[in-house]
Each structure stands twice: as structure tokens, then as C-alpha cells.
Structure 1
């Protein structure tokens, strides 16, 4: 059922508005089954469902992005959680893979302190008493629910942690890793300066294109955790630069 719901979101991402009949035909299930799926997805705030149509919420909404390649991202999150020990303090930047990673830490029962710029992540893991969360403060970026700017940078510079976990929006075999937002790229670089090890969490789809602004060179990255569909060209260059590559 989860896979079918992911397919519904994927179809809606491409067309934004789709008839129930069309979804039923494409997925090979009854309209009753599709309506049940749509009702579940609407309760999660991922779409609107009325008058025989389904309309996707903002595709950039993190609740929507959490559904993209969800099972793969959960496996990535579970692998990343193995790096963290009970009592650790870590930094987490933002994004769907990082949110699922934070959730896995919550489920693990480990006592972990998390420093983050992501209001979404702080809210997403608020039910886990074993996780202590510090939000940086700063300028609120509503579309991504993160805190950026000089105040956030200044606070982050007071910390030092073993691990920083980040997502990525793009990749180049020549230049490394990219971000699609200048302010988040800058704050991510500040966070990296305060961590001994930079760990990138991403599904393999991000290795197929670059994005707006270059963020991390290869020599800044300690570990990349992704899935086995990573292109061979990316795999080769990552290993060539001595980066630990974990595939799930």
C-alpha cells in the first residue's frame, strides 16, 4: 500500500491534478481503493481530494518530499543512525532524508542532543523524549522551514560536534555537491566548519544533476550514504577522493 501511495504522489508531482479514474487505470486497482488512499494522503496534508480529482499540495512542502523514495530514504536513515552513539551531540541540517534520520534516532532510544536549523525536523521528532533539540534562531525561511542568516551562523560557531548530517540537491563529478538555495548553502558551510565529519544523506536521484549553487568539495566530505542505484560515474569519483560510500 505504501508503494502505491508513493506512485500516486509521483503521478501528481508530474501533473498536479489527476482524475481518480486515471489513477485507478494507471495503478490497476479499483476506484474505491484509490479513494481510500487519497483520503489517507489528504489526512497527512499531502493533497486535496474532491469532485473526482486529486490535487497535490506544494511539491516543495517537506511533508510531500518525505513521500518521495520513502522506503529508500528510511534505509538510508537507518544506516546513518548506526554512526551515532548514546549520549552524542550532533548537527542535522535540513531536508526529508535528514528528518527521517532524526526519526530513526528517536526510535532507537539513544539519548542524543541535536543541533539543527530545521524547524520542521524539531517539530517532526518532538514526541521522542530521548532526543534533546536545540534550534539556532535566525531568519525564518518559510518555504523550507529553516533558520538562516547571521544570527544562526553566530550561534553555530559556538559549537563543535563529531558529526554533521546534511542532504544535497545536486552533484557533479567535477565539483562535488550542490544546494538549490544560497542562504541554506551558506549556513550548511558554517555547520560543516563546526563538525569533524560531514555525512551526506541522499537517495541516488540527486546524483543525476547539478543544482543552483556549489556547496561542498569532495575533500570536505567524510561519508556519503545513498542507495545502490547511484550512477557508476558518481560512485567512482566519490571513492577516488577517499570518501566512505555506504550503499543501502
Structure 2
């Protein structure tokens, strides 16, 4: 491992998340070189790559991820919020963009939000909208309900729209 790799690891661990552009500026190399470095550092389990940035391994919390590519996520959340009509029940899965969507919906007393995310449920604890959290096994790392009981609960709830998180996209495999 060279000095630049050590610098990248320290920056990412200190800040939790750093963009490729910022890493290129701080290390004095091209973005292509930074991406290559990040691939190597992720392979060796020093950090985690996300689109356009790197994250510390222990920063898998939604609150931290909400700040990565914030403007894009906020624009997506605003568009999604505009698709929800009065009287609808909407399912919102976990994830940082969906958390921003939940924030935008918090003042809407005319909707019901169903979520498996305890993070999102906590964001909505003082909200005007009704909030339903299905039961199941708590997956602590994602703060979400998972498993057969969760699946059964969701099958018993009727909702008009669902907003599902996407972790990544590749041409070969599509959305994940």
C-alpha cells in the first residue's frame, strides 16, 4: 500500500464519505486513478465504493449515506413525492433516497406510510401522516425488518404505490 492509499483511507475514515472528485483534488491525481485506487482498496476491505464516492466500512447507516450525492437524491425524492395523491397508502423501503422522500411526506396528514425501515419510522415519529411498521426480524445493520414474518405482514397490507431502494446498477446485471 502506498502513501496515497493511506491518505485515501484516512480521509474516508475521518469523513465517513468522500467523493471521487474531492479525492482526486486532495491527492493530486486524476479521477481515473482514484477510481482504480478505490477498486483496489475495496477489494482489500479498507473501504466501500458507492457511485461517485467511497465510504468507510462502518458508515453503512442511512444518515451518513443521505449526504452522498445529496442533490440528486433530493431531486429524486421530490419527484417521487409529487406522484403521491391524497388518501393513498405508500410503501417506502429503506435507503437514503427513500429517507429523504419520507422527510418530504412527513407533513402530509392525508397519506399513510408503510415502511420496514426503523430509520424511516423514527424520522416520521412526529409526522402528521400515519405510519405502519410491519413486524419481523430486525436486521440491525440496515435497521430494517426482514424475513418471513415481514413478508407475510406486507402481503396483508394494501398500498397504492411502492418506493423501493436500489443499491446499484451495472450494464451486465441491471439493478440490484
TM-score grouping bracket, smaller chain normalisation: 0.5 to 0.7
SS of the aligned residue for 2:106 comes to helix
Kindly state the Cα deviation for residue 176 of structure 1 after the two structures are TM-superposed.
2.8
Question: If the length of structure 1 is used for normalisation, what is the TM-score?
Answer: 0.48
Partner of 1:225: none
Separation (CA, whole Å) in 1 of partners of 2:110 and 2:10: 37
Separation (CA, whole Å) in 1 of partners of 2:152 and 2:59: 32
Separation (CA, whole Å) in 2 of partners of 1:76 and 1:173: 21
Separation (CA, whole Å) in 2 of partners of 1:13 and 1:77: 32
SS of the aligned residue for 2:160 comes to strand
> Which ranges in structure 2 are unaligned for 5 or more consecutive residues?
1-7, 16-24, 27-55
Structure 1 moving runs of 4+ over 4 Å: 11-14
Question: If the length of structure 2 is used for normalisation, what is the TM-score?
Answer: 0.66
Partner of 2:75: 75
Partner of 2:115: 116
Separation (CA, whole Å) in 2 of partners of 1:13 and 1:88: 46
**Distance of aligned partners of 1:68 and 1:104 in 2 relative to their CA distance in 1, 3 Å threshold:** same
Separation (CA, whole Å) in 1 of partners of 2:131 and 2:111: 9
Kindly state the Cα deviation for residue 172 of structure 1 after the two structures are TM-superposed.
3.2
Q: Write out per-residue CA displacement over residues 4-44 of structure 1, whole angstroms, 9 at most, x where no aligned residue.
A: xxxxxxx78853137xxxxxx95xxxxxxxxxxxxxxxxxx
Relative contact order: is structure 1 or structure 2 higher (C-alpha 8 Å, sep ≥ 6)? 2
Aligned length: 132
> Which ranges in structure 1 are unaligned for 5 or more consecutive residues?
1-10, 19-24, 27-55, 179-248
